A and B are shown apart, each in its own frame.
Chain A
Amino acid sequence: MKIPLKYTIKNFTSRKLTTFITIFGVALVVFVFTAVLMMAYGIQKTLKATGQPDNVIVTRKAANGEISSLVDGETQDIIRTLPHIAVDNNGKQIISKEPVVIINLEKLSSGVSNVTVRGVSDVVLELRPQVKIIEGQMFNFGLRELIVGSGVTGRFKGAAIGDEVKFAGDSWKIVGIFDSDGSGFDSEMWGDSQALLNAFNRGSTISSMTLKLDDVANFGDFKKQFEFDRRLQQFEPKIEQQYFEEQSEFMAAFIRIIGLVITVIFSVGAMIGAAITMYAAVANRTVEIGTLRALGFTGWSVRFVFLIESLVIAISGGLIGIFLASFLQFFNISTLNFQSFSELAFSFSLSPWIIFLSLAFAIGMGIIGGYAPARRAAKLNIVDALRSV
């Protein structure tokens, strides 16, 4: 025979404060758990959105990021002769040769941070169609002009249209602001590839070469050239999307590990909280339990009732925690990406998978925290229970 669910609900109203405190504790833990996953996912999502699935980026094999990668002019010429590189309407190969450097800029919120300056070739908008000029205009090739990402303008001093940034012994005028749909490029500044190479005195040595393939299916074949040609063996082509996603790996893993260690420790605290509350509920209702058993309810249905009670607490706490965490999506934060050594702006980002994980986490806490008390309730001796005062 089953005990009606109404009984469980009624119980909450009799010990409001204790129940509320327990729910609040679970909510806090779930909030932190969800926030950590959202932060790691936010970084990943931003960098994944940076690359196009059909572009290929070539860097030095040993390099961890673009700034430590060097591709010399000779190598660039060899790569240009490889098959499968797409051409535009004018018959020009869609290749952007990109020197990538870091400059220091003062942040609006005090302090100095690193901003990536990327030189791009004139086909770049064909290569990266997600990039749109939202204010001002595109820089002029050959001139010392820059366009800045939408994530940079609001975060750094002197990064608005008309401002001048000083580096490489010259002033660079900001002529436009671009947006790239929340990708990592929003945290960068772009200028003419050749102008930057000249200014930095780097000859023709760039950091990376990004190109479009005629068909992504040919990537395997394209990659093979790098294994066969001895002159290319120190270099490695990668799908651009995959490349940038890997750039997030270290940070995302770092946040996840620290965060998950913390939440696991936390959750033990919350489970203990739930167990204490449930033990108290059992102790307070000893006579009631005895009565229920005397009326013919089985030990299993009593156990079930207490487990359900614990689950209801955990799920309510979980839902509150996720609800509160979902507001974090409105916050944009930025941090130094250890892999690219420059500031990356991103936002907390929620996904169905994270909601599922957080709820499962809450339910797990409820079951573990409620198991022992429910067992105790079910094992109570009927006569002793009825007699207890």
Chain B
Amino acid sequence: MRILKLIIKNSLRHKTRTILTILGISIAVFAFGLLRTVVTAWNAGVEASAANRLITRQAVSFIFPLPLAYRDQILNIPGVEDVTYANWFQGVYIDKTQFFARLAVDAETIFEVYPEFLISNEEYQTFLKERNSCIIGEEIAKQYNLKIGDLMTIEGDIYPGDWQFVVRGIYKPRDKTTDATQMLFHWDYLNERMKEMGSGRINEVGWYVVKISDPDKSASISEQIDALFQNSRAETKTESERAFQQGFVAASSAILTSINVISFVIIGIIMLVLGNTMIMSARERTREYAVFKTIGFSAKHMVGLILGESLLISAIGAGLGLFLSFPIVEGVSQAIPKGMFPVFELEPITLIFAVSSAILIGVAASVFPIMKALRTSIVDGLRFIG
């Protein structure tokens, strides 16, 4: 108990220094939290993928289409429950910087295969009836202040022309990881417009999403699908949704790696700041420690004294950092365009990691001063002039 009192007294001795150190640690803790959140946001697509979904796309790359006729052939494979399909529509909404997924989808099946997109039956029924209607994610509705019945005008690029869609439904995400930033409209409408334009690009599908009954069979079903279309003009590549998403993440691995490296450099910096403070404090108190030893305090007490002070400071710093993390992550998630990181949230594991590394650092920072305090003999200590 007496040690605890000493620890608190000691840490209050240089108030400015202690406050600065606490601030330094808390800044590092929330910076760490923010960076880890960017990394997890990047991986959100992978996390959100369902084990019972496969993605079938053109083997050459996803920008090449597949014939609509593949759908029935895929449906015939045993173990396949449902097949839906989509085309990447893109286009320009408002201006070129507004980025979110705009997809032409098969209205009949899309919500069967993606049960995490929650839509009321009423809205869904009106959507089904109206050719040029669309359903948007909750986040998009919020960001652009769109309500049911509003018009969305999009200038096509991949599919040239002016396009107008009526918002007939707003879907809600079922899970935290669900992407609520998509705009979905009738694939049939797209196909008809292409026919009217006399374009050769009719009955073309961007990719198929295959719902299977048993996730354990995903590898064998993927092989069967690809075998169906081997040596055709449009060979396919089928993989689990997870693997498909990971492919996207892996493509920007250079940036992810640097963010990861930096988030660990941050831990290094906290260590420097706290270590520096502890070294300075212990150095100034060399003479005091000698006095303590003279009046009979043992090595155990010295360790407790220095380690305790270091842990106290790092714990307060970590707590403050965590406290700051929530509003800051929230602020950043407001500031970045929604379509870019559909899910941007602090994960519990990030918090645990941040706190445990702060505490570990508290221990590490006290090692050097403890060793020095224990090694200095009483006589040398008493003789020491700061």
Contact = CB atoms under 8 A, between A and B. Distances in A.
Nearest to A280: B280
Contact of B276 (A22, A69, A114, A283): A22
A112 interface: yes
Contacts of A336: 248, 251-252
A262 B269 contact: no
B90 interface: yes
Interface string B21-33: 1011001101100
Contacts of B92: 62, 64
Interface in A108-166: 111-114
Contacts of A219: none
B158 A70 contact: yes
Contacts of A279: 14, 16-17, 20
B96 A18 contact: no
Contact of A25 (B34, B157, B160, B269): B269
A83 interface: no
B382 to A, nearest CB: 14
B35 interface: yes
A24 B272 contact: yes
A265 B328 CA distance: 12
A277 B64 contact: no
A104 B280 contact: no
Contacts of A283: 14, 284
Given A114-B61, A283-B14, A276 B20 contact: yes
Contacts of A201: 200, 233
A344 to B, nearest CB: 10
Contacts of B258: 35, 39
A255 B259 CA distance: 10
B31 A266 contact: yes
A284 interface: yes
Contacts of B280: 18, 276-277, 280
B155 interface: yes
Contacts of B62: 102
The secondary structure that dominates the B interface is helix
Contacts of B34: 261, 265
A255 B90 CA distance: 23
Interface string A43-73: 0000000000000000010111001111000
A280 B254 CA distance: 41
A234 B60 contact: no
B24 A266 contact: no
A276 B17 contact: yes
Contacts of B273: 25, 269, 272-273, 276
A269 B279 contact: no
B276 A258 contact: no
Contacts of B250: 111-113
Interface string B240-264: 0000000110111111001100100
B60 A104 contact: yes
A272 B90 contact: no
B157 A63 contact: yes
A335 B252 contact: yes
Contacts of A104: 59-61, 237
A168 B265 contact: no
B70 to A, nearest CB: 16
Interface in A1-32: 17-18, 21-22, 24-25, 28-29, 32
Given A68-B90, A101-B64, A343-B251, A21 B272 contact: yes
B45 interface: no
A335 B255 contact: yes
A18 B17 contact: no
B163 to A, nearest CB: 11
B23 A68 contact: no
Interface in A266-288: 266, 268-270, 272-273, 275-277, 279-280, 283-284
Contact of B61 (A29, A32, A103): A103
Contacts of B275: 21
28 contacts: A32-B262, A60-B160, A62-B157, A64-B92, A67-B63, A68-B157, A70-B158, A101-B64, A103-B61, A104-B61, A200-B64, A201-B200, A266-B31, A266-B269, A269-B273, A272-B27, A273-B24, A273-B269, A273-B276, A276-B276, A276-B277, A279-B16, A279-B20, A284-B386, A335-B251, A335-B252, A335-B254, A341-B63
Interface of A: 17-18, 21-22, 24-25, 28-29, 32, 35, 39, 60, 62-64, 67-70, 101-104, 111-114, 167-169, 200-201, 203, 234, 255, 258, 261-262, 265-266, 268-270, 272-273, 275-277, 279-280, 283-284, 333-336, 341, 343
Report, nearest first, the 10 A-B pairs whose CB atoms are least far apart. Answer: A336-B251, A272-B24, A62-B157, A63-B157, A335-B254, A167-B60, A265-B31, A102-B61, A25-B272, A62-B155
Given A276-B277, A335-B251, A335-B254, 12 more contacts: A24-B272, A25-B272, A28-B268, A39-B258, A111-B253, A201-B233, A261-B332, A269-B27, A272-B21, A279-B14, A279-B16, A280-B280
